Structure formats: structure tokens, C-alpha cells
Amino acid sequence: MLARISRTLLLFLLTFAFLAAPFAPTQSQAATTASAHALIRQPVRAEHGMVASAERIASQVGIDVLKRGGNAVDAAIATAFALAVTYPSAGNLGGGGFMMIRLRDGRTTAIDYREMAPSAATRNIFQDEKGNLIQGEGSSLIGYRAAGVPGTVAGMELAFKKYGSGKLSWAELIEPARKLAAEGFPIYGYLARNLVKKKDQFAPYEDSRKIFLNDGKFYQEGEVLRQPELAATLRRLQKNGAREFYEGETARLIAADMKQHNGLITMEDLRGYVAKERVPVRTTYRGYEVITMPPSSSGGVILIEMLNILEGYNLHEMGWSSADRYHLMAEAMRRAYADRAEYLGDADFANVPVAGLIDKNYAARQRSTINMTHASTSAEVRAGHPVGAESSETTHFSIVDAEGNAVANTYTLNESFGSKVVAKGTGFLLNDEMDDFAAKPGTPNYYGLIQGERNAVAPHKRPLSAMTPTFVLRKDGTLWFAIGSPGGSTIINTVLQVITNIIDYEMNIQQAIDAPRIHHQWMPDELAYEPYGLSTDTLHLLEARGHKVYVRPNAGWTTGEGYMGNAQGIMLEEKTGTRLGASDPRGDGAAIGY
């Protein structure tokens, strides 16, 4: 009885503390605001392996591979191919991405399979003769010219050859996807709605219209989507290996369709595509090692810069929902994204001062420019001066296998359904990743990101990404959690907030993903928050400090109106090693374990 009363009292106090948090944050409130989220959901628990992805069938495909003795890398390859069938807005063969791998012995690597610009893609290709950005067909966003040379198949092959278990063949890993394409799967609500939303954009492209609009008849939720051309492409990949995509029949189909429609990608471009293994970037945050993606993604470098800045403050004591925390987060984001605009690009082409940007002394200098009571303006916050600087609908999945090998993989077509073009006869969509370049340096791209010369278009260059697949280790050096998200420019901030929710506020992985997010990207100078994500009182406190706060309307690249990202994470429970899987409530995904 006493226990029940005190539990009721505790619940009352917790609720009160949560509601009152913005007014007077104290140390005990920091704990209680975190606890308030504990009332939401527990992660999915499993003893051996876990796959958290944005689509349930694809998660199950990964689990089946693990059960058959495949390792996390094998499961990642099978999941990636399955998502290309069941999650066509972002899962892909015609796009690219980044895979972080951490083997059970502690070796960690990063596979960069980002698209490359075709050789005919020169600096001003997306500008008209007056220097204005081209709109519609011919632009960096829609149609044939928007596509970079896809990297996904090469990336999967590199991962398979170097890090696969060898227990399952390449063809076996592709088979579940081929079967799903050939036999079909029931269209789920999100996909049905999303396809209708894009009808006008698909309409000009014959194969896209046929496959994704059912020739104008549209699909109802529950109807079976069969993709015979895609099944045939997957069959060729099974038989002939990844080179089929870059030199075989698939390459010929892409190049022929490109030629006919004034596109840029040639057979030679396809033959020249290379996935690259890179050295991950690392930092420690309050003693925990963070290992993440280097360029050609900006994700890891900018994440680390923000973590390094925030490490100098006691976020825990401020309280999760305090105006102080939001203020600091926004100021760290503002500074790091200003650096992104200036310094980041494909490091194979531009001088990117990675070491300077992730240096803790640089973060200390950045910190000294932050005023606790006044927001900076983005106009006055220009890029900082890191050492070494010279002038001048994505989807994530995380996998952990029974041995403790882990994969964090984010890949994409860029916008939902990419360029909207299915290359004739291939059955798959091509990306519109060329828009991630600065099509006109200094002018915002689709995500409103201003980007600089280092990210200007050039032949064979990789457009700058924000994708941030990341591992965080425990202080004893073992894997703690894997995390990543889609969301365009918001990706890095989503990963940042999940990490700090866990480390500073002791949230479990599911709570940390569920908790409302904010976003600042330097320009435009606004602090965005999710619907219902910020109390009105806190909003006023932030405005009083000079922040331009705004509730996001439908952002267009997330699954929910105005929400940010669709994170998928897996944590290993301390002592037991139980796999804790968490899929973002902002999407339709699933963490499945065994």
C-alpha cells in the first residue's frame, strides 16, 4: 500500500517537474525530465542479433540472414537490397551512401559508396546562361541530369568481399530482395500515400509511371506491388556480380536511356565508379568514444565539432527541457554548420581541414564566442578558423549480430524517390544527388543549405553529404550503440541529440530517439522545432535571448509532417549484452531481434 502511494506521489512529482522544467532547471529536474520520457516506450530486446530499419520486411530479411549464420555485414547487404524493393523512396540500387562497420575485435572502418559526378558535370552545369539555377528537367533535382553515378552496388560488393562472413554467397544475400521484387509485397500506408503525393513528378517518366503509379491507376494500401524489371536486374547481379551494374546489361540500359534523354552518365562513367574504404573520424564525448563517417560526408566532422563544443557545458545540470540547453545546442549547431558551408566537400578534391575542425582546442575557441544570455546572429557567425584551413528521403539501418559485429548504414536517393527517373528497363530509380553539390556556391540547395567552393560540381567528384552513421563505445572500449538517421540537413543534429540524450540524460535508446528534436543549420538563421516539441514558455525564453524560433511545417523529406528524421538505433545493454533495438516513431520501421 505504502509502495503504491509513494509510486503515485513519485509519478505526480515527475509530471510536475516535467511541466515546470523550463522555469527553474535544477540537477534533480535534469533526471526527472529524462525520466518523463521513460514513460513512453522500451526498446525491443533480443539475445543474439538485432536489425533496426525503416521498413519491417527488410528488417526481417536481415534477421533471417543472421539466423542462417551470416554476420552483421551480410545482413546489412541483404537488408540494403531488400529496402531497394520495399522502401523505394530511399532504399536503392540507383543511389549511394555510407556504411560504418565495427568488427567484434574492435576494428572499425567506413565504406564510402557515395555517388560520383559524371565526367560531363562541370561547375556551372546547373546554371543557365544568366547564371540562374535551372529548374525542372536539366536541374540538379529532377530528371536525368540530377543523377550522380550510383555507388550502392559497388559499396555492397566491397563490404561483402572484405567483411562478409563468407558463409552466404553474394547471390544468396540478394535472393530475398529478388523474390520480393518478383512476387511482390503488400503496399503499406506510408508508401501508398507517398506515391500519390509524387504523381506529378513521376508522370513524365515512362517506366516510373508504369511501376510506381500503376500506369495512372495508383495503388491502394494492401495491394501487391510486383517489380519484374527490378527482379530481372537483381537476377543479373546475382549471376554476374556487381560489375554487371557497371559494365554489363544494367550499365548499357542506364547509358542508353541517359543518351536518349540528354542525361550525363555514360558507360565510361559507370565503369569508372569506385567505392572507397576510408578511415573513420573519432572523438571522445565525456569519456565515451564516438566513431563516425569522414568526408565525403560532412556528418562525422560536424557531429564531432558540435559534441566538442557541448562537452564544455554541464548539460545534465541544466535540464533536458531548459532554455539553456536549447540555446547551447542551437549555438553549437550554428557554428558547426557555418563551418560545414565553408570547409566541407569531397576531400579527394578539396582541401578539407578535418583535423582542425575536430580539434578540442578549436572547440574551446568556438565556445568562447558563445554568450549564454544572447543568441548570436548567423550573419555575424562566419566560419571559424580551424587549423589547416586554406582560403579558397534517405534511410538508415543499424545491425548487431550475435558475435558483436556491428553495421551502421545510411544510404539514399537524396529526395524521396530521387530524380523520379527509372532508367528504362532496369526497374530502379536514379538518385538526384547532384543537388547535394553547391549547384551555385552561396545559393541554398533543396535543404536550404548554403555551400561553398569546396563543394562545387566537378567531374568524378562526390557531392557533400550530411549522412552520419555512427558508433559510440563504452568507456571500456566495447560497443555501446549504433545510430543514424535520414533527414537531409537535419541528420547530423538528429544524431547529436540522440547521443547527448543518452550520455547527458541517461535515456534508453528508444527514449533518446523518441524525444522531440530541434534543428539549426546556421542559414537560414532559425531555431526549428518539431510540432508540440517545445513548450510555449520555453519558446518565449528563447525568443527573449534573440532566437528566431519556428515550428516546422511539412518539411517534405521526412515521413511525418514537420518531424525530423527517422533514426534507427541498437544499444548493447551493460553486463547482459542484450541487444536493445529502437526504431523511430516518426516512421514506419521496425527493430526486430532474435
Q: Given the rule CB under 6 A, which residues bind ligand DON? A: 393-394, 412, 414, 433, 436, 465-467, 486-488, 491, 557-558
Spatial separation of the C-alpha atoms in residues 131 and 123, rounded to whole Å: 11
- Tell whether the torsion through CA atoms of 260, 266, 267 and 270 is positive or negative: negative
**Helix, coil or strand: residue 277:** strand
User: Which is closer to ligand DON, CB of 339 or CB of 393?
Assistant: 393
The residue count for the chain: 594
**Helix and strand counts by DSSP (H, E) for the chain:** 21, 19
User: Which is closer to ligand DON, CB of 275 or CB of 467?
Assistant: 467
CB 409 within 8 Å of CB 52: no
Which is the catalytic residue, given 33, 233, 394, 494?
394
Instruction: Write the CB contacts of 408 (distance below 8 Å, at least 6 apart in sequence).
Output: 99, 100, 396, 398, 469, 470, 471, 482, 483, 484
Q: How far is the CB of 332 from ligand DON (least distance, A)?
A: 19
Q: How far is the CB of 98 from ligand DON (least distance, A)?
A: 9
Exposure class string for 376-402: b at 16+ Cβ within 10 A, else e: bebeebebbebeebeeebbbbbbbbbb
Sheet containing strand 518-519, edge to edge, reads 518-519, 527-529, 549-551
User: Which is closer to ligand DON, CB of 90 or CB of 572?
Assistant: 90
**Nearest residue to 325 via CA among 449, 478, 496:** 496
User: Which is closer to ligand DON, CB of 378 or CB of 465?
Assistant: 465
User: Which is closer to ligand DON, CB of 440 or CB of 579?
Assistant: 440
CB 339 within 8 Å of CB 39: no
Q: In Å, what is the CA distance from 145 to each residue of 141, 258, 336, 350, 433?
A: 8, 8, 31, 23, 10
Is 266 catalytic? The answer is: no
Q: How far is the CB of 413 from ligand DON (least distance, A)?
A: 8
User: Which is closer to ligand DON, CB of 465 or CB of 501?
Assistant: 465
Spatial separation of the C-alpha atoms in residues 273 and 149, rounded to whole Å: 7
**Nearest residue to 40 via CA among 18, 61, 59:** 18
User: Which is closer to ligand DON, CB of 21 or CB of 58?
Assistant: 58
Residue 340 burial (C-beta neighbours within 10 Å; 0-12, 13-18, 19+): buried
Q: Which residues belong to the active site?
A: 394
